[in-house]
Structure 1
Amino acid sequence: MGRLAKPTALKELGGNAGKRALNKKEPKPFGGPVKPAVMTASAKKIWDKVVVSMPPGVFTAADSHLLGAYCEAVARHEAATKAIIKGDAEVTGSTGQVKVNPWYREQADAARLIVTIGAKLGLDPVSRQHIHSDKDSSNNDDGFGDFLN
């Protein structure tokens, strides 16, 4: 299976580096992202940070559920990390055996989701370098730095 095609909107934002003809008949989602009704409280806070951290027009209403899944993964990762900090690295299993704390697996699973979904949304450094914005990149008030902290 080959590489997935990049959406035309991202090619345009990235300057169409390959200079190939763009798909003019590609469906164009409209409207800004809408926060899904069913989200945890911590994921809602992450949503607010992520949506304002990207230039207008990058996310559309069609991205809402993918953004929601990303925010839930970040919230799960944070919860797992907090639980790891509070607890032990090893726990006793049901039959008395010593095993690795299950929060480590939860943390790793959430991290994999963050990487996968984040790349699709342009939220990692490699994906983000292909998005060009009219906004001055030297301005540090873009919200993304606050999102990371």
Structure 2
Amino acid sequence: MAGNMNSGGRNRKSAKIKVIEGGRGHRRIEPEIEATGAPKMPDYFSRDQQSLWNDLIASMPVGTFKAADSALLEMFVIVSLRLREAEMIVADSGLLIAGAQGITRNPALMIITAAEKQIVSLSDRLGLSPAARTRLHVGKDEDADEMAWLMN
């Protein structure tokens, strides 16, 4: 499925990609706003949440995540641990449980389904899935380019 629920189609290409592709359509390419700063871990995070946050930040190249990504990173951590907790509940009590109206589906399965959908969406937005990483571009090191030119 291309795009997201509200976009009505494909995800937009960044201005950098449009420039690299040569600006097909010959329209002016509007510059994009660049995010700055480092993401800030929420103060209320538990030890498990802090650990997952740190693992998440360390799993990507330095500078990938910016301060503007903090809310998405926070949601990813919360939903990931919610999924883990729901999975432990199902592992402990089973897929089916005895309820007031007899045997019924474990309610934790609904939490798992919702959390999985959220994780897939957040992973795509944050560049955490293999497919999303193919769309990420790490900035060039200007000093390395200068040195390469001097060596030629």
Query: TM-score, normalised to structure 1's length?
Result: 0.74
Do the aligned residues in 2 keep the contact of 1:46 with 1:71 (CA within 8 Å)? Answer: yes
Residue deviations 1:78-123 (CA, integer Å, cap 9, x gap): 1111111111221122x33211111111111111110011101101
Corresponding residue of 2:120 = 115
Q: Which residue, 71, 84, 108 being the options, matches 1:78?
A: 84
Pair 1:34-2:37 in alignment: no
1:61 is displaced (CA, Å) by 0.2
1:7 is displaced (CA, Å) by 4.5
Paired with 1:122 and 1:22, the residues of 2 have a C-alpha distance of 24
Pair 1:61-2:67 in alignment: yes
1:39 is displaced (CA, Å) by 3.2
Structure 1 portions without partners, runs of 5+: 135-149
Write the letter of the residue equivalent to 2:21.
G
Q: Number of paired residues?
A: 129
Write the letter of the residue equivalent to 1:84.
V
SS in 2 for 1:92: strand
Aligned positions of 1:12-27 closer than 5 A: 18-20=21-23, 23-24=30-31, 26-27=32-33
Paired with 1:88 and 1:127, the residues of 2 have a C-alpha distance of 34
Corresponding residue of 1:48 = 54
Write the letter of the residue equivalent to 1:75.
L
Corresponding residue of 1:106 = 111
CA RMSD of aligned residues (A): 2.4
C-alpha spacing 1:28/1:3, structure 2 compared with 1 (3 Å): same
**More contact order relative to length (CA 8 Å, sep ≥ 6):** 1
Corresponding residue of 2:11 = 4
Query: TM-score, normalised to structure 2's length?
Result: 0.73
